[in-house]
Amino acid sequence: MRRIGVLLLVAVASLLAFSPAFARAQTVFEREVLYTRAAPTGTLRAVTLTYSRSPAPTLMLGPPSDIAPPGGWAGGGADGLCIAPDGDAVVAGGALSPGAIHKVRLNSGVAITVSPGAGSLTATQVAIDPVVADRVWAVCTSAGGTGAGRIARVPLSPFAQGVAFTISGPDTAIAQLCFAHGRAYYVSTGAAPGSGTLGIIDMNTFATTRLLTGLEFPRAITFDPFTGHLVVLGGASILQIDARPGIPPTIVSGVDLSALVPGVDLRSGTVDGRGHAIALSATGHIVLLDYAATMQVGHSANPRLAAALEAAGTLASIVPLVGPGSLRESDCLWDNGAFDERDGLPSHNSSWIGDTRTADDFYLYRGIHRIDSISATMFSDSLFLNALIEVYDDCDGRPGTLLHSFTSAVGDTGTLFQGLRVLTLEAATPGLWLRGGRSYWVSAVGIGSLDGSDNWYWGTSGAPPPTPPPPPGVSNSIRGKPAVFRAPSQGVPDWTTSAEAGCGCTDFAFTIRGESCKILHDNGPPQPQSDPALTGVPSLISTTSSDSRAADNFRVPPCADEGGDRICFIEATVYTNCSPVRGVVEVLRNDCSLPAGTPLFASPFSKVIDLGYNVSIAGASLRAYTVQVHDPGWFLPDGRNYWLSVAVQGSGGFNQRALFAANAASCDIPVCALRISQSAFRASASLNWGPVENMLQIPRDLSFLVAIHEPSSGTTETGDPVPGEQCLGDAEGDGDVDVSDIFRFLSEWFGGCP
């Protein structure tokens, strides 16, 4: 017995050594979410949701808070909810004008209201267009809910009244839209149990086509980049559906939550792209389903949790957490310090006295970085508070090409400096992705009045504290390079340092927020224009014989922290004479050294950048473009090869051409351009892929880049166990580490399993 007792202590110690859950709770995620209420008060609200997996699955909610602008916004019900590219919330319904569309500034609550279209329409759900990001689609019903449903297209910049279109086809009353795989999916709830449908809607003709019938009251639909499937919610069920183009739609998995909360009735839901579904129930509960370890929503091992959020009958919609219209999480990418109330330099647009600019630099480490917002501090005596934030490339340590200019919101801090009002500038920067390993420059710019009587100054930052004094000869703490100044109309035509401009060697107050991604695979830039062998592989979506596809491969290495990688950015080079340039990026499975099957994922181009030059290939003059896909969030399991296909959408013209550009060779022999194996090609007459040398007579790679979200060190980004694996202390594999695992461990240990 004594020996067995010692062995037991050793076994327990061994289990504890491999079981961090015994020492501390494991928080999977903690984040703020937004939601709307259909009740008479608190239309738009925020709540912090905290989910911990161990020692036992726990869902905790912080106290809800109103996002309530003046004018009575908080005094009525609302429904649909998403986030515009500029960071404002877009809400359907509300007290100001039930059934209208509202654009709400989250930091102040100020709302602008428009109608979804002519006539008496009630907007119930909203979804950001994945291709044209500055517009939102609203699902509407006519007055009294009679007649065919409507789809309204509402512009966001400027925010203005929408245009409504009548829905036709077998389903005319739809509950919600979802964009995925280059298609628009919808759910229709149906009037009786089992009469709900899933379908697709043509966003040009607004005709519906059914894909699945017999669903139980589906009310919400979203695309899940973690599984590549659709998630449909409604009533007591959550369904996981594979509805990719080219294959029969299939219900992969489903779960009935009726035992979780009595009378549970899911009205809205979202996913976080990491294996968690979050839904609102008409009972007033928020529901969480964790399928990160199983990748199936109906798996019996999935934790299922609920917490009371509001009174029954009040909850309406929850904000998307991934994809177009989602509420993003941003981190600080660069902080130049707060305004030190020491000095400033002029920086404004003025048609009267001429433009002045002050600019300061920032650095991004190697990788790809999504810039969400840039803020700065200025002081001014202007009566008209309008400003810009400009971003410049770096050229020899000075601002180079102006890359982007963004309109900034201006807020008054209520304080004065040298008799001028201290102002905060904050510019949302939608679509701004910057490559790291280099410097850039920011300029905060006030927009001067027409008579030139106002003044705008950018405030300094980084003054040393009063004690201890800085060493002799040492100036302010400089982050990167000192700021620079230019005023051509005032005799300063070239960028000069802030010290030479009379402000000292100093930085200026600004902060940059966003998210960083690391490069998973870089196939290199396209061939230089001077290359006599300049080429590409045809890749055109067309109804003519020129229809073709090109693809190249990349890999997700084994031992990824999440059991795979989540894609955040894709970039490729294409040559085409199509105008406008539209298209789709697809990810396919690998079959030895060729693509196989239907696409796992597909997304339209998020951004097209004209490279400013033409190429001549096979007698055709084609324009060069960079195409990008932003934040698709696709999760790719590790230890596998994948194929990336980039195709331009043609309009059916016989002379239209599009090529996926070949990459630049890394040495004198063209085959040195191959990173894994040569690219692949599929002609319109065949569904079979073949190596590209069958067409080009030489093996070539194509020009593209893939970047992934960076998980935190030592754990998954969410704290989840790696899919397909289990915690070493979880001997039973049930997701919990407790005393029963000790006896399971002992049983196997005595049986000879180490």
* Cα 426 from Cα 406, distance rounded (Å): 10
* Cα 728 from Cα 730, distance rounded (Å): 5
pLDDT at 241 over 80: yes
Q: Peptide bond preceding 55: is omega within 30 degrees of 0, i.e. cis?
A: yes
* Cα 199 from Cα 217, distance rounded (Å): 14
| Pick from 61-75, 359-373, 426-440, 518-532: least confident | 61-75
Written as six digits, the tokens of 15 are: 């289990």
Closest by CA position to 543, among listed 657, 658, 648, 654:
654
Closest by CA position to 565, among listed 322, 274, 289:
274
What pLDDT sits at residue 450?
A: 73
The pLDDT tens digits for 386-434 are: 999 999 999 999 999 999 999 999 999 999 999 999 999 999 998 899 9
φ, ψ of residue 744 to 5 degrees: the values are -65, -40
Range with the largest mean pLDDT of 96-105, 111-120, 634-643: 634-643
Q: Mean pLDDT over residues 310-315, rounded? A: 91
Average pLDDT score over the chain: 85
- Who has greater pLDDT, 1 or 63? 63
**Polymer length in residues for the chain:** 754
Degrees, nearest 5: CA angle 45-48-50? 150
The pLDDT tens digits for 573-612 are: 999 999 999 999 999 999 999 999 989 999 999 999 999 9
| Pick from 264-278, 281-295, 735-749: least confident | 735-749
Q: Mean pLDDT over residues 500-512, rounded? A: 94
Written as six digits, the tokens of 672 are: 């040195």
DSSP class of 312: T
DSSP class of 723: T
CB atoms within 10 A of CB 603: 28
DSSP class of 324: T
Q: Mean pLDDT over residues 249-277, rounded? A: 95
The CA dihedral of 257, 258, 264, 265, to the nearest 10 degrees, is: 70
pLDDT at 515 over 80: yes
3-state secondary structure 625-650: EEEEEECCCCEEECCEEEEEEEEEEC
* Cα 263 from Cα 286, distance rounded (Å): 13
The pLDDT tens digits for 53-85 are: 888 999 999 999 988 654 444 445 678 999 998
What pLDDT sits at residue 1?
A: 38
Q: Peptide bond preceding 193: is omega within 30 degrees of 0, i.e. cis?
A: no
The pLDDT tens digits for 24-56 are: 446 778 889 999 988 666 578 999 999 998 889
pLDDT band at 735 (very low <50, low <70, confident <90, very high): very low
pLDDT at 140 over 60: yes
pTM: 0.84
Written as six digits, the tokens of 682 are: 């599929």
pLDDT at 618 over 90: no
* Cα 139 from Cα 722, distance rounded (Å): 38
Q: Which residue has the tokens 């508070």?
A: 385
Helices (H) and strands (E) counted in the chain, each on its own, are 3, 53
2 in helix, strand or coil? helix
Domain 331-466+482-514, CATH 2.60.120 — does that match? yes
Q: What Å distances lie between residue 583 and 180, 504, 529, CA to CA?
A: 14, 51, 23
750 in helix, strand or coil? helix
Q: Do 266 and 281 touch, CB atoms closer than 8 A?
A: yes
337 in helix, strand or coil? coil
What pLDDT sits at residue 468?
A: 57
3-state secondary structure 8-22: HHHHHHHHHHCCHHH
Share of the chain above pLDDT 70, in %: 84
* Cα 479 from Cα 442, distance rounded (Å): 13
Degrees, nearest 5: CA angle 456-460-461? 145
Q: Mean pLDDT over residues 496-521, rounded? A: 94
pLDDT at 485 over 80: yes
Stretch (H or E) spanning 747: helix 739-750
Written as six digits, the tokens of 76 are: 């009525």
**Sequence-distant (≥ 6) Cβ neighbours of residue 603 within 8 angstroms:** 130, 181, 182, 584, 585, 629, 632
Q: Do 376 and 347 touch, CB atoms closer than 8 A?
A: no
pLDDT at 102 over 70: yes
Degrees, nearest 5: CA angle 423-428-433? 135
Closest by CA position to 442, among listed 507, 356, 361:
361
**What's CA 144's distance to the chain center, in Å?**
36
pLDDT at 747 over 80: no
The pLDDT tens digits for 633-692 are: 899 999 999 999 999 999 888 889 999 999 997 665 555 668 899 999 998 767 789 999
pLDDT band at 117 (very low <50, low <70, confident <90, very high): confident
pLDDT band at 464 (very low <50, low <70, confident <90, very high): low
pLDDT band at 95 (very low <50, low <70, confident <90, very high): low
430 in helix, strand or coil? strand
Q: Do 112 and 71 touch, CB atoms closer than 8 A?
A: no
What pLDDT sits at residue 118?
A: 79
State the pairing for strand pair 176-180/183-188. Answer: antiparallel
**Sequence-distant (≥ 6) Cβ neighbours of residue 467 within 8 angstroms:** none
The pLDDT tens digits for 555-572 are: 999 977 777 899 999 999
* Cα 248 from Cα 681, distance rounded (Å): 25
Q: Do 576 and 657 touch, CB atoms closer than 8 A?
A: yes
* Cα 175 from Cα 234, distance rounded (Å): 10
* Cα 504 from Cα 502, distance rounded (Å): 6
Q: What Å distances lie between residue 360 and 23, 399, 503, CA to CA?
A: 46, 9, 13
The pLDDT tens digits for 180-237 are: 998 999 999 988 888 999 999 999 999 999 999 999 999 999 999 999 999 999 999 9
- Give the number of C-alpha atoms closer than 13 A to the C-alpha of residue 509, restricted to the C-beta side: 23
What pLDDT sits at residue 712?
A: 44
Q: Mean pLDDT over residues 377-384, rounded? A: 94
- Give the number of C-alpha atoms closer than 13 A to the C-alpha of residue 334, restricted to the C-beta side: 27
What pLDDT sits at residue 753?
A: 43
Q: Peptide bond preceding 70: is omega within 30 degrees of 0, i.e. cis?
A: no
User: What are the sequence ranges of the domains in the chain?
Assistant: 20-318, 331-466+482-514, 523-709
What pLDDT sits at residue 105?
A: 87
Q: DSSP for 292-361, please give it.
A: TTTS-TT-TTS-EEEEE-S-TT-EEEE--SSSTT-----EEEEE---EEEEEEEE-EE-TTT--BEEEEE
DSSP class of 11: H
Fold assignment, 20-318: Neuraminidase (2.120.10)
Closest by CA position to 39, among listed 319, 312, 307:
312
Closest by CA position to 26, among listed 710, 725, 736, 740:
736
The C-alpha R_g of the chain, in whole angstroms, comes to: 28
* Cα 751 from Cα 742, distance rounded (Å): 14
* Cα 136 from Cα 576, distance rounded (Å): 29
* Cα 707 from Cα 712, distance rounded (Å): 16
* Cα 227 from Cα 225, distance rounded (Å): 6
First CA to last CA distance, the chain: 21
The CA dihedral of 405, 408, 414, 418, to the nearest 10 degrees, is: 10
